[in-house]
Amino acid sequence: MTELDVNYFSESAEWFLNANTPSYLYNHLKILGEVENLANKSTHQELFNICKKASEKKDKNYDSELVFYIGLIALSLKPYSEFSKYVESLKTSNYKWASTIISLIISNHQPVTTATIKVESKPKIKRLEKKSKDTDDSTTEQTMHFKSNPIVYKTEEGFSNITTSDNTINLEPNGD
Amino acid sequence: MASKILLPGERQRSEIVIQTRIGSPISNVQEHDLPPRYLKLAEELDKKYHEPFVLFVNNPSPYYNCHGLTFGSRRSAISDPQEILKILEEDDYTLVEDKDVQKGDIIVYFGNDGDAEHSGLVIGERNGLPLILSKWGYGKEAVHTFSMCPYDSSTVRYYRILK
């Protein structure tokens, strides 16, 4: 299957008609039953072929654009590992919202970027807990990692008298 | 201006110069013809959205969209939400509290992701709710209460130009 009949995608066509922005179209098509059905009954290769054929049409029109978006968004419903290698190549399709929708798809699937931060100092906060009726534990020790040297210390409610020595911060409970 | 030769069935598209007050360009696209399938769909929206809540006016047009109506005098379609934020800032729009909304203000509908997915003009009130004139995508313009439309009305903001 490399071609879709848009007559079977009337709901998609209505959202396409009403769409003012690519994000609106993407957010509505990805939850449509007719798009989900297409994703379920097609392989990622078939969906990619639908998009590719629509993007290679010489006489691009509204229908071929809609077919492209339906195929693309159905493809995005596949596991990321299956579609990730295909979607980037579809950015050059010349359909006006293709690039934006592909960026939205990728950003919705990729894990949040992680960064390794080199910590110059590792200050320890020794917190002297207020004595509680419920517990006998009177101290807790936490290690906090800062992006850079801490500058502002805020006194927590119930604690005061911050004293620092080297990299250690002592929060002492209020007397009340 | 040189015209591109179109293949049969190919869409005619163009872009015009639209700028903010301080001269920043606003990207836009004009489409010239809407095929029968989409004209029919636009007509059929009358069955889903109808009076007294929604009154469709004008004919469907692909030349401009909602943002093109609100910010571009119906000349072209503005589809990039970042451009809307740029217009709001560079045209010096001021946020208006819901209780202070009046005719002539504009309304912007923000989606869950912060996307400015729709906009329109406040033209009055009905039952204490702002009455909006807006354009629905390629379709018709509509007069509607702010929530009677296919756009997320849970986060709307009103703006006014004060000077």
Q: What is the ipTM of this complex?
A: 0.91
Domain endpoint, select from A56, A80, A109: A109
- Looking at residues A83-104, what average pLDDT do you find? 88
Q: How many domains does chain A have?
A: 2
Q: What is the pLDDT of residue A176?
A: 43
- Looking at residues A21-43, what average pLDDT do you find? 96
Whole-angstrom distance, CA of residue A170 vs CA of residue A78: 52
B32-83 pLDDT tens trace: 989 999 999 999 998 999 888 899 999 999 999 999 999 999 999 999 999 9
Q: Is the per-residue pLDDT at A113 higher than 80?
A: no
What single-letter amino acid sits at A108?
N
Q: Quote the domain boundaries for residue A131.
A: 124-173
Whole-angstrom distance, CA of residue A47 vs CA of residue A54: 11
- For residue A119, tell me if it sits in a domain: no
- Looking at residues A80-97, what average pLDDT do you find? 86
Of B113 and A142, more confident: B113
Q: What is the pLDDT of residue A136?
A: 47
Nearest to B139 among A17, A21, A22 (CB): A17
Nearest to A61 among B10, B42, B79 (CB): B10
A vs B: CB pairs below 8 A: 78
Determine the residue of chain B that is closest to A57 in CA distance.
Answer: B10
Alpha carbon of residue B44 to chain centroid:
20
Task: Output the pTM of the full model.
Answer: 0.77
Q: Is the per-residue pLDDT at A117 higher than 90?
A: no
Pair (A70, A14) in one structural domain? yes
- For residue A81, tell me if it sits in a domain: yes
Give residue A60's pLDDT band: very low, low, confident or very high (50, 70, 90): confident
Residue B119: beta bridge partners?
Answer: B108
- Is B19 buried (19+), middle (13-18) or exposed (0-12) by CB count in 10 A? exposed
Q: What is the pLDDT of residue A85?
A: 83
Pair (A101, A156) in one structural domain? no
B5-27 pLDDT tens trace: 666 656 778 899 999 999 999 99
Q: Which of A173, A112, A126, A116 is nearest to A147 (CA)?
A: A116
- For residue A115, tell me if it sits in a domain: no
CB-based contact, A13 to chain B, within 8 Å: yes
Q: Is the per-residue pLDDT at B1 higher than 70?
A: no
- Looking at residues A83-111, what average pLDDT do you find? 86
Domain layout of chain B by residue ranges: 13-161
Whole-angstrom distance, CA of residue A84 vs CA of residue A151: 42
Pair (A96, A20) in one structural domain? yes
Percent of chain B with pLDDT over 70: 94
A6–B37 CB contact, under 8 Å:
yes
Nearest to B111 among A23, A62, A63 (CB): A23
Whole-angstrom distance, CA of residue A121 vs CA of residue B104: 57
B79–A63 CB contact, under 8 Å:
no
